[in-house]
Structure 1
Amino acid sequence: MGEGLRERKKRQTRQRISEVALGLFVERGFDRVTIAEVAAAADVSVNTLYNYYESKEDLVLPPDQASPQRLADIVRAREPGESAARAVLAQLRAELRRRDRRVGLSTGFGRVFEMMRAAPTLTARLEDLGRQMTEALGTVLAEETGAAPDDQTPRVVAGQIGWFHSLVYGEIGRRIVAGETPATIAEALLELLDVVEEMLSPTALGYATRPSGAAGTTESAQV
């Protein structure tokens, strides 16, 4: 069934609020713009805005795009024969190749990144998000491998995956500030991921490989 009229209008309103907010934040700075000003500029009430976004930070980092479950979801969806680390590497490569907004390679993101970097609450939100992603991934790996409660391997592997995931975002940010183009950044980051894959140990690269015929299940073999 296609998108209904009500759903389409809600999506359009949500998108308009987000675009207006980002425009104001980039122009004036995140901390200098109030929710009331965003609502007025988007031609909605403050209550309506809060129906779509629970906090001011959500206007920049909406939970459906900046989810603590991102790494865990990628690993849950991995193919048979694919390990946790290789699934995340493959996802990052795919996002880089298509210049995905999730990795900050969309047109005009440089100004958005500068705005985010200048806002303490947003940088703190990003740091906490990275920690939550790693913790959620560690939980999934422990469940899928059947690791004993005192087995630290899932947490360590999750930490390594979280590290190179954060490394990619940090490097993209550095290059954006340096004025590099999205195409140049994507090429450089694809090369960086090749280095990461070469440097990871066989144990980390092969950990939690999904058995053949296990697609869509919650079971995985520990390597």
Structure 2
Amino acid sequence: MSGLRARQKADRHRRIIEAAAALFREAGYEGAKIETIAAQAEVSIGTIYNYYQNKGDILGAIVSMEVNEVLNAGRGVVAMPPANVGDALDTLIGIYIEHSLHYLSKEMWRQAMAISTQLPDSPFGQAYTALDRSLTDQIGALIARLQEVGLARPDIDGMALGELIFNNMNMMFIEFVKRDAARIPELRASIRRQNRILVSAIAKE
């Protein structure tokens, strides 16, 4: 019975997240109502409040789902990276960027960033920071893997470089979500152009 209850709970959680993500996109974060999310997820309002205290918590769960999916995909790149530093970084960062609007709209990202900035010590703010840390660590792990296979210079501080690459990518992503007209191919090209400088400095000759 415990297995059945766990599956039912997971199914309800999935329906709530999917309904909320669709409604946030359609009506906007501020315009979305918990009652409507419950109706579209085919659960009671009480069930939603069993999982989440407010809409911000639901948004946080969507961000977490987004980031965890790209982290899972990124593990394959770290384990078996392309045969040069530039392609390896571009492949990993490409996973992050290409998937970024799969569940979240730009408006949803702006809301998530605002909440994490305004309430950094809240569960949402701490979870958002932890997700950023996980992405940073994965980039660092890729650098370490490239050093192991002899593609990157061994004297490079891989974790520091991972932080540098993530921080630059993150700032460019923030600018990207600020502008509704900005497009993913433009963002990827800009990141690739700036990372080219780092690649030339760390690639083993």
What is the TM-score normalised by the length of structure 2? 0.58
Would you say 1:175 and 2:176 are equivalent positions?
Answer: yes
Cα shift readout 1:110-146 (whole Å, capped 9, x = no counterpart): 2211221232354543332222233355457657856
Aligned to 1:126: 128
Aligned to 2:193: 194
The one-letter amino acid paired with 2:107 is R
Residue 129 and residue 60 in structure 1: after superposition, are their counterparts in 2 closer, same or farther (change >3 A)? closer
Would you say 1:77 and 2:80 are equivalent positions?
Answer: yes
| Equivalent residues of 1:168, 1:189 under 8 A apart | no
Trace 1:1-223 onto structure 2 (pairs within 5 A).
Answer: 16-22=15-21, 23=23, 26-28=28-30, 38-39=37-38, 41-44=40-43, 46=47, 56=58, 57-62=60-65, 64-65=68-69, 67=71, 71-79=74-82, 81-83=83-85, 86-93=87-94, 100=98, 102-104=99-101, 109-120=105-116, 121=122, 122-136=124-138, 138=140, 153=155, 156-182=157-183, 185-197=184-196, 199-200=197-198, 202=200, 204-206=202-204
Note the C-alpha offset of 1:187.
1.8
List, as ranges, runs of 4+ consecutive aligned residues in structure 1 with deviation greater than 6 Å. 10-14
Unaligned runs of 5+ in 2: 1-8, 52-56, 117-121, 149-153
Residue 108 and residue 161 in structure 1: after superposition, are their counterparts in 2 closer, same or farther (change >3 A)? closer
The one-letter amino acid paired with 2:180 is G
Note the C-alpha offset of 1:60.
3.2
Using the alignment, how far apart are the partners of 1:15 and 1:108 within structure 2? 15
What is the root-mean-square deviation in Å for CA atoms of aligned residues?
4.5
Cα shift readout 1:44-93 (whole Å, capped 9, x = no counterpart): 3638x86xxxx7422332164253x66544221313x334x531213434
State the structure with bigger RCO (CA 8 A, min sep 6), 1 or 2: 1
SS at match of 1:200: helix
Using the alignment, how far apart are the partners of 2:30 and 2:109 within structure 1? 14
Using the alignment, how far apart are the partners of 1:178 and 1:137 within structure 2? 26
The one-letter amino acid paired with 1:59 is I
